[in-house]
Chain A
Amino acid sequence: MKSVVVFMMFAVLAMPQQAFAAIGCTLSNPAEDLKYLYPEMTTYKEDLNEFPLLKDGTELFRALRERLGSDLDPIYETYETPYTVYSVFKGQQKIGVVHGVNVPGKGGVIQVFLSMDPQTGEIRRFFFQRLESPAARQLRSKEFLSQFEGLTLGDFYKHDYYATVDPGAKADKVAAITPPVFEVSGRPDYEASLRGIRKNLILVDFFVYGKKFEPYFERAKQATEKAKARKE
């Protein structure tokens, strides 16, 4: 009885706070969207991740900023922002991971979603849920989006490494991505989209893959520091 009362009290007290909570990024119609992405799906699970609720939340938030290489928006990309990871199952087997993030675009929020391989962390599909931009048509084109299929967070960290030690290296898969042709006004949204992919991959690496791509980050970081030291 006591636990029921405690639960009800929690529900009542928690509810009004939701209106003021930081805004996360969720699929509009999870069941339909995930079934579309994974026709063989039998069920899915939603996991809500929030830095304040994680044991090492403060450290992870700092690490996100460091790995992203850019500042987080102080109002809309805060420590309190919740992140929903969708795990897709076929029977007992986990067949996919889907995650989305908000990134500020030039004229409105951009919602960047990735579906990933649950074992390797490779991008299976990249799509926008929301994108208002002069370059929207080009950014949504299959030709552009499909270039990201097969990439991992490791490839983005490797890109940082190659950009320092061997610019233009053939092994740099991220550098090989061809931006779509759009007017100059679309450039900020293209860059915001790339930032969104990277932010998305970093968060999923934290929440799902147990930081498996960290060695690539460390290598890139060391290379950058060495290059910096040489310059000085």
Chain B
Amino acid sequence: MEETIQDPFVLRRYVVLATKNLRRRPVRTGLTVAGVALAVTVAVSLGGFMLGYRGAIDKSIKMLGYQVMIMAKGCPYEAATMMLKGGTGLLYLPGDTYQQVKSDPDIENITPIFVGVVEKQASSIRDEGAASNFTIISGIDVPSFLVMKPWLGFKQGPGYANGRWFTPGSKDEVVLGFEAAEYEQRKVGDSFYASITPAGKPNPVMYQFTVVGVLERTGTQDDGTVFLPIDATREYFNRPNQLTILGIKLKEFSSFKMREFETRWLKLPEVQVVGLQQVKNTLVNLVATAQTMIAAVAAIAVIVALIGVINTILMSVYERTAEIGIMKALGARRGSIFQLIWLETLMVCFVGALVGSAMAVIGAGLVETAIKGLADLGVSGSIVQITPALVGYTVLVAVVLGFFAGLYPAWCAASMRPVEAIGKGG
């Protein structure tokens, strides 16, 4: 009866023999495995980035609290950035937009927000070229804002105890986001200076506020924001009847309802209605080109690695011509030779895929830092997410590609005639 590779005992012998063959040229085998590993590292990292980035967008959007935003007409990219990063160079809505929209029957909750940008007094040794720093001030209506973002909580512990929102009617109290407090090194009870340039005025006016609370870290733009009561903020910025955003949660959030809502309110001449899906699509499109290019590089890396594998196994086959001839002369069948060479290819690809996946997992932090260092992608949180499923899928693809890469060398080896092979090899 012919031995088959499905038999575990036979398979073990094949694996031992294939390993022995591969170890004959450890440097060559090692370099080939390294080539596969690098290609897999790139592929897994890219896959992790694609997964993680979409996840980060979803999380950032969810943490906004609202599903729809009404804002002044302008660039959709600016709208997307404003939703996720706070945004600068702001356009304003007439204040009565809030009164008009809030009676819409499809709205579950609505919160008006006034965003203002405060230029920090910058200084450096190069006074003439000093870079300016900005602080984002969000004027909010606390009750409706908290309905949208119920997870906002105050930091506790020494220096932060008794954090709270503003007392009604207060104009000189601020609540700082986690990073804003760290950046300004403020604690609850400290003073906080902000120089605000009122609309229509040439020079900023410095105001002194009291920090009444520091928020817990949320991983969103709220961390870097300074919160003030909305009416006071509008007064400081000399825009008493204007708003920046209306954040809206609909009773039923579906494409149909969203379109209906949009149609109803686009009749207002100065507004645009931006939904979550639009923002998500905008942000995904922003990085889609870069992702395609990286995917192309990854594909080239995979092709180069596969050529390397084919080359290595072919060289190995040609070096062992005489040996294969003797094996066949002693009774080895074509199928056995084919399976042996094929197995060597699969082993190179499998080990390379495992090593590459491990490198990708270990290097995920570095990749994330590099990507964030190269470009501001408009989201916070982790943007590289390497899951077990992704690793498993990549290893499987590598093995399948190895399956095809091994066909030609295995066929060459299996097709050798014993006498010719012994003659050539001898």
Contacts and interface: CB of A to CB of B under 8 A. Distances in A.
A74 B126 contact: no
A76 B251 CA distance: 45
Interface string A60-78: 0000000000000111100
B196 to A, nearest CB: 12
A125 B125 contact: yes
A39 B364 CA distance: 40
- In this complex, the interface size class of chain B, counting residues with CB under 8 Å from chain A, is 20 to 34
Given A33-B124, A127-B124, A108 B186 contact: yes
Interface residues of A, number: 37
Interface stretch (B9-17, B187-195, B286-294): B187-195
B3 interface: no
Interface of chain A: mostly helix, strand, loop or mixed: mixed
Nearest to A13: B365
Nearest to A8: B362
B158 A74 contact: yes
A145 B127 CA distance: 13
Nearest to A35: B126
A125 B124 CA distance: 12
A36 B120 contact: no
Interface string B363-380: 111100100000000000
A173 interface: no
Interface in A175-211: 185
Contact of B120 (A23, A29, A130): A130
B185 A102 contact: yes
Contacts of B186: 108
B121 A131 contact: yes
Given A5-B362, A133-B121, 9 more contacts: A8-B363, A8-B366, A36-B125, A75-B158, A107-B193, A108-B186, A109-B184, A113-B125, A130-B123
23 contacts: A5-B362, A8-B363, A12-B362, A12-B366, A15-B365, A16-B365, A23-B183, A33-B126, A36-B125, A37-B125, A75-B158, A75-B185, A75-B187, A109-B183, A109-B185, A127-B124, A129-B125, A131-B121, A132-B121, A132-B193, A134-B193, A136-B123, A185-B208
